[in-house]
Structure 1
Amino acid sequence: MMHKVEQRCLEEGLINGGNMNVLTSAEIKPFMTFNEPFRSNSFAVIVVQKGSFVFQNNFVKNCMKAKDVYLVTPGSLCELYEMSDDFEFISMGFKKEYLKEQGVFLNGAEIVHLFSTDLVHKFSLNDEEFEDLVFSLKSLKKKINLPETTPHFKDVVRHSFISVLYEILIVYSKYRVFIPVKLNRQEELTTNFLNLLSENFKSEKQVQHYAKQLFVTSRHLSQVVKTVTGKTAGEIIDEMVINEAKVLLSSHLMNVSQVADELRFSDQSFFGKFFKKYTGISPSVYKSNSTVAVNPPF
Structure 2
Amino acid sequence: MEKELSLFHQSSTAVLDELDSFKFRFSVHEMQDLHEAVMLNSPIRSEFFYIFVVKAGEIYFKLNRKEYHATAGELCVIPPSALIEVSAILPKSEAIGIAFCPDFFLSLGLHYSHPQILEIFAPEPSPIIAVGADELTTLDWLLKRLKQINYPKSDHLFQEEVLTNTFSQFIYELTQAYHRNKVGTQIKLRRKENLVLLFFKEVSKYYKKERGVQFYANLLFITRKYLSKTVKQVTGKTPGFFIDEAVIKEAKMLLADPKLSISEIAQSLNFADQSTFGKFFKKQVGLAPTSFRI
Question: Which TM-score tier does this pair reach, normalised by the shorter chain?
Answer: 0.5 to 0.7
1:151 aligns with 2:151: no
1:142 aligns with 2:134: no
1:20 aligns with 2:26: yes
1:115 aligns with 2:115: no
Relative distance call for 1:100 and 1:152 in structure 2 (3 A) is same
Unmatched segments (≥5 aa) in structure 2: 20-24, 189-294
**Which residues of 2 match residues 29-108 of structure 1 at below 5 A?**
32-108=38-114
1:179 paired residue among 173, 182, 185: 185
Unmatched segments (≥5 aa) in structure 1: 183-298
CA shift for structure 1 position 119 = 6.4
- Measured in 2, the distance between the counterparts of 1:99 and 1:87 equals 29
Relative distance call for 1:6 and 1:181 in structure 2 (3 A) is closer
CA shift for structure 1 position 6 = 6.0
Counterpart amino acid of residue 172 in structure 2: Y
CA shift for structure 1 position 107 = 3.2
Relative distance call for 1:119 and 1:148 in structure 2 (3 A) is farther
SS at match of 2:153: coil
SS at match of 1:117: coil
Taking every aligned residue pair, what percent have the same amino acid on both sides?
A: 20
CA shift for structure 1 position 179 = 2.6
- Measured in 2, the distance between the counterparts of 1:4 and 1:173 equals 35
Relative distance call for 1:26 and 1:105 in structure 2 (3 A) is same
- Measured in 2, the distance between the counterparts of 1:100 and 1:110 equals 14
Relative distance call for 1:22 and 1:29 in structure 2 (3 A) is farther
The one-character-per-residue Cα deviations of 1:186-237 (angstroms, maximum 9, x if unpaired) are: xxxxxxxxxxxxxxxxxxxxxxxxxxxxxxxxxxxxxxxxxxxxxxxxxxxx
- Measured in 2, the distance between the counterparts of 1:135 and 1:14 equals 27
- Measured in 2, the distance between the counterparts of 1:135 and 1:4 equals 19
Counterpart amino acid of residue 172 in structure 1: Y
Q: Which has the higher contact order (CA 8 A, sep 6+)?
A: 1
SS at match of 2:144: helix
The one-character-per-residue Cα deviations of 1:235-286 (angstroms, maximum 9, x if unpaired) are: xxxxxxxxxxxxxxxxxxxxxxxxxxxxxxxxxxxxxxxxxxxxxxxxxxxx
CA contact (8 A) 2:35 2:89 kept: no
CA contact (8 A) 1:5 1:26 kept: no
Counterpart amino acid of residue 114 in structure 1: I
CA contact (8 A) 1:34 1:82 kept: yes
CA shift for structure 1 position 77 = 1.1
Relative distance call for 1:149 and 1:119 in structure 2 (3 A) is farther
Relative distance call for 1:27 and 1:106 in structure 2 (3 A) is farther
Relative distance call for 1:14 and 1:4 in structure 2 (3 A) is farther
- Measured in 2, the distance between the counterparts of 1:35 and 1:7 equals 18
1:5 aligns with 2:3: yes
Relative distance call for 1:166 and 1:151 in structure 2 (3 A) is same
* Pairs aligned (count): 178
- Measured in 2, the distance between the counterparts of 1:86 and 1:177 equals 31
What TM-score do the two structures reach when normalised by structure 1?
A: 0.53
- Measured in 1, the distance between the counterparts of 2:110 and 2:5 equals 32
Counterpart amino acid of residue 135 in structure 1: W
- Measured in 2, the distance between the counterparts of 1:15 and 1:164 equals 21
Counterpart amino acid of residue 15 in structure 1: V
SS at match of 1:150: coil
CA shift for structure 1 position 181 = 7.7
Relative distance call for 1:4 and 1:134 in structure 2 (3 A) is closer
The one-character-per-residue Cα deviations of 1:130-170 (angstroms, maximum 9, x if unpaired) are: 22221222122223247344212111100000000000000
- Measured in 2, the distance between the counterparts of 1:20 and 1:44 equals 10
CA shift for structure 1 position 68 = 0.7
Give the corresponding residue for 1:269: none
- Measured in 2, the distance between the counterparts of 1:181 and 1:156 equals 32
- Measured in 2, the distance between the counterparts of 1:89 and 1:4 equals 16
Counterpart amino acid of residue 121 in structure 2: F
2:166 paired residue among 160, 182, 192: 160
